[in-house]
Amino acid sequence: MVSKQVCRSLFSNPTWDYRTLAAADEVTSHIGSTYLKLTTYPNQIEIVTSEQMLDAYSLIGLPTSYPHWKFGKDFVINQNSYVKGRSALSYEMVINSNPCISYNMENNTTCMMVLVIAHACQGHNAFFANNYLFKEWTSADSILDYMAFAREYILGCEDEYGAEEVERVLDACHALMHYGVDKYRKPAKVSALQEKERMKRRVSARHENYNELWRTLPGAGGSNGANPAVNQPFPDEPEENILYFIEKNAPTMPVWKREIVRIVRKVAQYFYPQGMTKVMNEGFATFVHYHLINRMFDEGYVDDGFMLEFLHSHSSVLYQPAYNSRSFSGLNPYTLGYHIFTDIKRICQLPTDEDKQWFPDLIGKDWLEEVHYAMNNFRDDSFILQYLSPKVIRDLKLFVVLDEEKKEDYQVNAIHDERGYRRVRNALSEQYKRSFHVPEIQVEKVDRHATNTLHLTHRIAHDRKLDAKETQLTLKHLRYLWEFPVQLSSKNKLDINEEVFDCP
């Protein structure tokens, strides 16, 4: 263990080197594991240049990915706005993998490096390693291998079937990426090795290609004369994972396309928890770095100057512009998450009468245990529903605006007062649900009599219709994958079709 004097002098030196980073890592993980009782994956800290950070941006943080123009487009956009000074690059980027890779920008100051190591290598890392969504829905151990495998496979397909055809398939899959996720059923863990074996099996064994639909062809399948299967609805239950359904059931799709669909599906699955835990993840990491660095100060690892710079950075991260500010661009997930986690601690330690009424279960409990419990077992919407306290609502002065299609005005539905707390909490939780952003669409049935038409159903919620143009374009992609007509019906609560999109 490095001595406190050495740390102090390292951390107050404006230029950092390997020893600084090693010391920061050692001290934060020591305090993290003893004081905050964090369990993490081993860390891999990588120092990168701004160019490399831009590269990492456009590959959504993965060190490698299959080639596609979409990543090039993202790169061009990021580069443009960075070069023009419209946006800065972040100080770090962290990947949910084992070991947990974090990219730190080379032009960070010493203080920023320590902060970033506490934030990413302890906070995010612990979150990845412990939150139930990440544990059950992603495979941190094998994602890097898997992406390397995916890249190799897709490059191989390009050689064999032509880059254009592969691009067409990927375009189509990307359009449906939000619908390549198992939300309820736990997905199998990915593994490059198993993947290769499974692929061999799929190719070699004819019966693996056996298709439910072929049974409907006259003369095929069992010779029972009239085939009873035709009258059976297929699939038995509506399927929310459209890409999965395509991969398994597209009637005439060649095997290599099925594999590409599978790859995109697995990538979508990997990123699914990140979208669902933005507030918690950032909030928890901020909570962790704040506690770690304050503890370091208390124990004498850092000096006053360091703390001033730290507090400045910390409060800029938590800056939440008001709704009518020029720089407002939605709720800052760092702020919201940090406030809720901090308030859990406060409620455990110094509850008010209000807290006793709202959170009877937290009163008198060990704050660290409760914070861990919250971090482990929730995702954004349930976390907010469970823990958003009246005090946080008051502190952030949250209010609910109702935007009704038919009205001329917006209506302020609830504000931070006694009558409003619950409504604010519900509305905010609703806002972080997936269905708020992603329309609910499922595979309803396949018409097996003649046309093989794929029927999708969109369940209309809150009278929100589908964007007609986007829907039509997406259906075209789906049509390409399915290779037979596709139809999407928007149904309201009474199961009546409001709109039908056709792609014959």
Partner 1 sequence: MSNIIDRRLNSRGKSIGNRQRFLKRVEEQIRKALPDIVSQESIQENSTGGTVKVPVKGIDEPGFSHDSKTGNKQVVRPGNDRFSEGDRVPKPKNDGQGGGAGGPGSNSPEVTEDDFVVILSREEFLRFFFDDLALPNLVKKFLEDATSFQNRRAGFTKYGVPSRLNIKSTYQQSLARRISLQGIYRKKLAALREQLPATSDDAERERLQAEIEKVDRLVKTVPFLEDLDLRYNHYEAVPLPTTSAVMFCIMDVSGSMGFHEKDVAKRFFTLLYTFLTRQYENVELVFIRHHTVAKEVGEEEFFNSRESGGTVVAPSLALMHKIITERYSTGQWNIYGCQASDGDVWADSDANESARMMKADLLPLVQYMAYVEISNRVKSSSLWRVYHKLADEKLFSVRKIYETHEIWPVFRGLFKKTNVLED
Site string for partner 1, 440-479 (x = CB under 8 A): -x----------------x--xxxxxxxx-xx-xx--x--
CB of 401 to partner 1, least distance (A): 5
C-alpha span between 56 and 485 (Å, rounded)? 39
C-alpha span between 292 and 275 (Å, rounded)? 26
* Window 154 to 183, contacts with partner 1 (CB under 8 A): 167, 171, 174-179
Q: Toward partner 1, which CB reaches closer, 30 or 345?
A: 30
* Window 66 to 85, contacts with partner 1 (CB under 8 A): 67-73, 75-77, 80
CB of 45 to partner 1, least distance (A): 5
Q: Which of 210, 214, 319, 410 binds partner 1 (CB under 8 A)?
A: 410
Secondary element (H or E) of residue 441: strand 441-446
* Window 26 to 55, contacts with partner 1 (CB under 8 A): 26, 29, 42-49, 51-52, 54-55
CB of 190 to partner 1, least distance (A): 22
Residue 99 binding partner 1, by CB under 8 A = yes
Residue 402 binding partner 1, by CB under 8 A = yes
Residue 23 binding partner 1, by CB under 8 A = no
**Length of the chain, please?**
504
Structural contact between residues 288 and 38, judged by C-beta atoms closer than 8 angstroms: yes
CB of 299 to partner 1, least distance (A): 20
User: H/E/C letters for each residue in 182-239?
Assistant: CCCCCCCCCCHHHHHHHHHHHHHCHHHHCCHHHHHCCCCCCCCCCCHHHHCCCCCCCE
Site string for partner 1, 127-146 (x = CB under 8 A): --------------------
Residue 502 binding partner 1, by CB under 8 A = no
Name the segment binding partner 1 (CB under 8 A); options: 186-194, 215-223, 231-239, 402-410.
Answer: 402-410
The CB density around residue 353, as the number of other CB atoms within 10 Å, is 7
The CB density around residue 52, as the number of other CB atoms within 10 Å, is 14
Q: Which of 21, 157, 293, 347 binds partner 1 (CB under 8 A)?
A: 21
Q: Toward partner 1, which CB reaches closer, 117 or 446?
A: 117
Sign of the torsion formed by the C-alpha atoms of 420, 422, 424 and 427: negative
Residue 330 binding partner 1, by CB under 8 A = yes
Site string for partner 1, 249-278 (x = CB under 8 A): ------------------------------
Name the segment binding partner 1 (CB under 8 A); options: 139-147, 366-374, 425-433, 446-454.
Answer: 425-433
Q: Would you list the DSSP string of 94-113?
A: EE-SSSEEEEEETT--HHHH
Residue 321 binding partner 1, by CB under 8 A = yes
Q: Toward partner 1, which CB reaches closer, 38 or 371?
A: 38
Exposed, middle or buried, 73 (CB in 10 Å: 0-12/13-18/19+)? Answer: exposed
Backbone angles phi, psi at 458, to 5 degrees: -105, 125
Q: What letter does residue 48 receive in the DSSP assignment? A: E
CB of 11 to partner 1, least distance (A): 16
Name the segment binding partner 1 (CB under 8 A); options: 65-73, 181-189, 209-217, 264-272.
Answer: 65-73
Structural contact between residues 78 and 22, judged by C-beta atoms closer than 8 angstroms: no
Q: Toward partner 1, which CB reaches closer, 145 or 303?
A: 145
Q: Toward partner 1, which CB reaches closer, 107 or 349?
A: 107
Residue 216 binding partner 1, by CB under 8 A = no
Name the segment binding partner 1 (CB under 8 A); options: 279-287, 294-302, 305-313, 317-325.
Answer: 317-325
* Window 192 to 211, contacts with partner 1 (CB under 8 A): none
CB of 364 to partner 1, least distance (A): 31
**Chain-centroid distance, C-alpha 387:** 21
Beta strands 100-105; 43-48: pairing state: parallel
Among residues 266, 232, 283, 332, which one has the least CA distance to residue 127? Answer: 283
Quick one: tokens of 191? Answer: 């593994």
Name the segment binding partner 1 (CB under 8 A); options: 186-194, 299-307, 357-365, 396-404.
Answer: 396-404
Q: Toward partner 1, which CB reaches closer, 197 or 463?
A: 463
Half-sphere exposure of 186 (CA within 13 A, CB side): 10
* Residues sharing a CB contact under 8 Å with residue 87, sequence separation 6 or more, in sequence order: 78, 81
Backbone angles phi, psi at 274, to 5 degrees: -65, -40
Roughly how many angstroms between the first and final C-alpha of the chain, as a whole number? 69
The CB density around residue 239, as the number of other CB atoms within 10 Å, is 18
* Window 102 to 121, contacts with partner 1 (CB under 8 A): 103, 106, 121
CB of 295 to partner 1, least distance (A): 19
